[in-house]
Amino acid sequence: MQILKIIVFVSLILGSLLISFKKEFIFDIYDKALIKFSLYTDNVLKEVFLSGRINASKSDIIDAINISIGQPLININLQNIRQDLNKLPWIKNSSVYLLSLGQLEIEIYEYNPFGRYIDETEAIFLINKNGVKFKQIEENEFKNLFNLYGKDALLKINELPLIIKKLRSFNLEISKIERIDSRRWNIYLKQGFFIKLPNNNAINSLDALYKLDNNIDYNNLTFIDLRILDRVSLKYKQVD
């Protein structure tokens, strides 16, 4: 009951001020009155909970949130916080909730790095499976990921997850992938050779690897050519 009286009293004062003074001055007084009222009713931010962060910079997130403990809840704009978070490199999306007792809960959803895309200027970007370039990196970062390059490589990136999965079933690990003439892929392997895939049915063409003789010395291979249907061509290194 006491709080209700205070609310009514504050509203009457603000109503009178709106009639008597200039608009800019009134808004300043109105904001200060709301802050004082929030502090009086203990309606302020007390805790911030963050979940989902793996690679995103903690300091970048704090800067994007731009709030502080003790800040009146009425001054916290959840939509602005979410929009600023979603501008950060690693963050694909986010959810922001204001809970009871002055608790702010933030959930972030990060991009999953799929590979390193090298563009025509030699700039390196982390990309996800959809070809989204979400963060530029240095040459020595995320070396465990394969390099992707070549004209229009990102336009056909949807073909790569299944190709990679099938190659791993042969215990072959990829170091880099090149798009050739915007038409097909060359797959370079950590085992020291590469595979030329055809324009069409690239995934199915890999089934030909099942037919290869198990006695083949992969260490001495230069490349395997699968570009011609039902034909496997092997190129070996010159050995003295």
The pLDDT score that the predictor gives to residue 29 is 42
Mean pLDDT of 15-20: 50
Domain boundary among 110, 130, 162: 110
Statement to judge: residues 74 and 99 lie in one domain: yes
The pLDDT score that the predictor gives to residue 214 is 63
The pLDDT score that the predictor gives to residue 168 is 93
Statement to judge: residues 161 and 186 lie in one domain: yes
Statement to judge: residues 135 and 213 lie in one domain: yes
Domain boundary among 56, 86, 110: 110
Statement to judge: residues 212 and 125 lie in one domain: yes
Residue 23's H or E segment, with its range, is: helix 23-40
**Overall domain count for the chain:** 3
Q: Residue 17 and residue 61: Cα distance in Å, rounded?
A: 39
In contact, 116 and 131? CB cutoff 8 Å: no
Q: Residue 163 and residue 69: Cα distance in Å, rounded?
A: 50
pTM score of the predicted model: 0.76
Statement to judge: residues 84 and 125 lie in one domain: no
The pLDDT score that the predictor gives to residue 32 is 46
Statement to judge: residues 104 and 148 lie in one domain: no
- Per-residue pLDDT of 178-196, as tens digits, reads 999 999 999 999 999 999 9
Q: For residue 153, is it left (φ>0), alpha (ψ between -120 and 50) or beta?
A: alpha
Q: Residue 88 is part of a domain; what is its CATH number?
A: 3.10.20.310
Domain range spanning residue 228? 115-236
- Per-residue pLDDT of 208-239, as tens digits, reads 888 776 666 777 899 999 999 888 999 988 76
